[in-house]
Amino acid sequence: MNLVISMQQYFVKEVLHNHQIVALDEQQSFHIVKVMRMKENDHIVLADADHKVYEAELLSLGTFAEAKVLQQLQRNTEMKMPVTVIMALIKKDKWDFFLMKATELGAARIVPYKAKRSVVKSDDEKIDKKKQRWMRIVEEAAEQSRRQCVPEITDPAGIKELKKYLSDVNLIAYEKESGSGKLLRDVLNQPQSATIIIGPEGGFDPGEVDELLNMGFECISLGKRILRAETAACYALSAIDALVE
Ligand code: SAM
């Protein structure tokens, strides 16, 4: 068994150095003491602000546990190619599921998209609170999946703002292409980065697709079956990972 990958991991906001003593925050300390029932001298992994990972030893437990940094670990769990997922806003439980799974599957950046047919509207007043909750979900999922980086979540964007998130390859997962259109393997010719946009429960409005095509996106199929939006995002990330690894 790889002991390092099985060690519990926590993100810290600072840049770490060997032999440094680090205080974990209250929530992480609670997790270490009450959930994981760890003891002094147990080892954990810390991922720092530079996306480097270190093995550390617990020195003291309590409300703010302390750990001593032992050594940097040569490990990279990030996708070979950064993928931005532009995800149409969907209902809360499905959205939370998407955030968790897209993080586990390696998404580098998540752009909540105010699609024409999104039934969920982003309320600008509540967005800060919502984003805080979303960040907690992706941070936990990133720790659980031993990622080096927590995915970025941008502010919800309308179609005109999507130009900011273009990559080397820009794809629309379009339900009308299912079973006939180009597949991921046809369009991923060793790009440095990729952006994929997934529509809401009701799919894309045709005018919206035209606007995206003008922006430089191209349509692809995710296979013969019509998937739910959150399944489509998970499928796309898994397939891209398998194709570029
Ligand atoms: N309401 C639409 C329909 O019945 O045709 C389906 C929308 S689907 C639930 C939500 C989104 O998932 C789509 O807008 C698309 O982005 C993506 N999607 C689902 N299945 C797909 C497929 N086979 N190919 C491409 N995209 C797909």
Enter the DSSP assignment of 31. Answer: I
Q: Which atom of ligand 1 is nearest to the CA of 202?
A: 1
Rounded CA separation 30/37 (Å): 9
Rounded CA separation 82/34 (Å): 35
Q: Helix, strand, or coil here: 193?
A: coil
Residue 128: the pLDDT is 86
Decide: 58 and 40 in contact? Cβ < 8 Å: yes
CATH class of 3-73: mainly beta
Rounded CA separation 227/195 (Å): 19
Residue 160: the pLDDT is 96
Residue 166: the pLDDT is 98
Residues of the chain within CATH 3.40.1280.10 domain(s) are 83-244
Quick check: CB of 232 below 6 Å from ligand 1? Answer: yes
Rounded CA separation 59/68 (Å): 7
Alpha carbon of 216 to ligand 1 centroid (Å) = 20
Residues of the chain within CATH 2.40.240.20 domain(s) are 3-73
Name the burial class of residue 217, with classes exposed (0-12), middle (13-18) and buried (19+) by CB atoms within 10 angstroms of its CB: buried
Quick check: CB of 203 below 6 Å from ligand 1? Answer: yes
Q: Which of 175, 201, 222 to mutate to test the pocket of ligand 1 (most atoms within 8 A of CB)?
A: 175
Tokens in use for 111? 């752009």
Q: Which atom of ligand 1 is nearest to the CA of 224?
A: 23
Alpha carbon of 211 to ligand 1 centroid (Å) = 18
| Domain 83-244: which CATH number of 3.40.1280.10, 3.90.1150.10, 3.40.50.1370, 3.30.160.70 | 3.40.1280.10
Q: In what order do the strands lie in the sheet with 21-23?
A: 9-11, 43-47, 53-60, 66-73, 21-23
Taking CA atoms only, the protein residue closest to ligand 1 atom 2 is: 203
Q: Does the model's pTM come out above 0.85?
A: yes
Alpha carbon of 175 to ligand 1 centroid (Å) = 4
Quick check: CB of 227 below 6 Å from ligand 1? Answer: yes
Quick check: CB of 201 below 6 Å from ligand 1? Answer: yes
Q: What is the pLDDT of residues 209-240, one digit of tens each?
A: 999 999 999 999 999 999 999 999 999 999 99
Q: What is the pLDDT of residues 81-94, one digit of tens each?
A: 999 999 999 999 99
User: Using 50, 70 and 90 to split pLDDT, how confident is the model at 2?
Assistant: low
Quick check: CB of 226 below 6 Å from ligand 1? Answer: yes
Rounded CA separation 218/232 (Å): 16
Q: Helix, strand, or coil here: 13?
A: coil
